[in-house]
Structure 1
């Protein structure tokens, strides 16, 4: 199956003689073209969930499958390859490199995978133009607005044409208008490019753009009541 699947996934930390359950028996599938949100209070397990989805953290129990591959079975080198080629990350701060211009923010992803070709440069320019950043190609992060920085981060996440997009509080540093613009943009790109996407957020105003909404509490994932409203509105 294309996309990402959690099958009875748990994450347990040992603290001295005590065990802390950060994630408890989570099962979930996100298909290509599907944009889901996970909401919940701080400390509920959202970050652990996203880290496991991004192959940054290993599950204690259960299985995570990414495009048919069980990522828990992969060696460290192969996991790095999966993160680089199959997963696009959008973080709560854009995490742009301060000394790189907008175009080079995208090309550095290609440099990590090997050499940068002329085709890569053209693809990056087309992607930036598509996201309304064609006039900002030579600008550095300090000369961009918050919304422009996040759009650049979205473009960077799409640069390697990953199949999975993971967004961690992507609107945290934005005002309401820019927040709506950014999440609308993520939703549009997920649909048009047929990506599977998970957004972790505290901002329930953004849930209207998602296909499904889940709530995380005490490490347990459950369908949110908000989902009924989303389903009825569509």
Structure 2
């Protein structure tokens, strides 16, 4: 299966003499072309879930599969390669580098992998155009609006042509209109480029763009039954 799957994932932390369960027996599968939301309040386990899905944290129990490959027991060097080559991250704030132009924000991803080719630059320009940023390529972050900066972050997450897109509260710093714009464009890119995407959020306004919605409470995940609109 092309995509990501967490199987019976549990994450426990030891704090003094106590053991805290951040995730409990969580299972979810997201295939290529699917856009899934994980919704829950602060402290519910969303950040732990995203860290494990993003190969930043290892589970106490269970397994993580990316494109049918079990990465659970990978060493740090292998996990670093997975993060660089197979996963695109979109964070709460755009996290752009102040002294790089919009185009260079994307190209730096390729520089991390090695050299930047003409094809890489052409792909970067294509992504910017798809996200309505074709006139912003030479601008710096402080010359862009909040929504534009977040769209640059979306484009950057697709730059290494990853299999998985993980978004952490991507609308938290945006007003309603900009939030809808950003998530709609993210959803369109996921479909067009056939990526498996997970958005962790507490923003109920954005769930209509997702194929499936899961609720997480006290580390336990359950799929929300959604009624079909007529």
The answer to whether residue 89 in structure 2 is matched with residue 93 in structure 1 is no
- CA root-mean-square deviation: 0.9
2:152 matched residue in structure 1: 152
The answer to whether residue 32 in structure 2 is matched with residue 36 in structure 1 is no
1:115 matched residue in structure 2: 115
Q: TM-score, normalised by structure 2?
A: 0.98
Give the whole-Å Cα distance in 2 for the aligned partners of 1:127 and 1:195. Answer: 14
* Per-residue deviation, 1:89: 0.4
Structure 1 residues without counterparts, runs of 5 or longer:
none
The answer to whether residue 229 in structure 2 is matched with residue 228 in structure 1 is no
Give 1:45-84 correspondences, 5 Å limit. 45-84=45-84
Residue correspondences, number: 230
Give the whole-Å Cα distance in 2 for the aligned partners of 1:145 and 1:175. Answer: 12
Q: Tell me the secondary structure at the aligned position of residue 41 of structure 1.
A: coil
Stretches (4+) displaced over 4 A: none
Q: Tell me the secondary structure at the aligned position of residue 72 of structure 2.
A: helix
* Per-residue deviation, 1:17: 1.0
Q: Tell me the secondary structure at the aligned position of residue 128 of structure 2.
A: helix
Structure 2 residues without counterparts, runs of 5 or longer:
none
Q: Deviations over 1:46-83 (max 9, x none)?
A: 00000000000000000110111111121211111110
Give the whole-Å Cα distance in 2 for the aligned partners of 1:182 and 1:119. Answer: 26
Give the whole-Å Cα distance in 2 for the aligned partners of 1:228 and 1:102. Answer: 38
Give 1:122-137 correspondences, 5 Å limit. 122-137=122-137
Q: TM-score, normalised by structure 1?
A: 0.96
1:188 matched residue in structure 2: 188
Give the whole-Å Cα distance in 2 for the aligned partners of 1:233 and 1:52. Answer: 34
Query: Which stretch has the larger CA shift, 145-154 or 119-128?
Result: 119-128
Give the whole-Å Cα distance in 1 for the aligned partners of 2:66 and 2:75. Answer: 15
* Per-residue deviation, 1:233: 2.1
Give the whole-Å Cα distance in 2 for the aligned partners of 1:188 and 1:125. Answer: 17
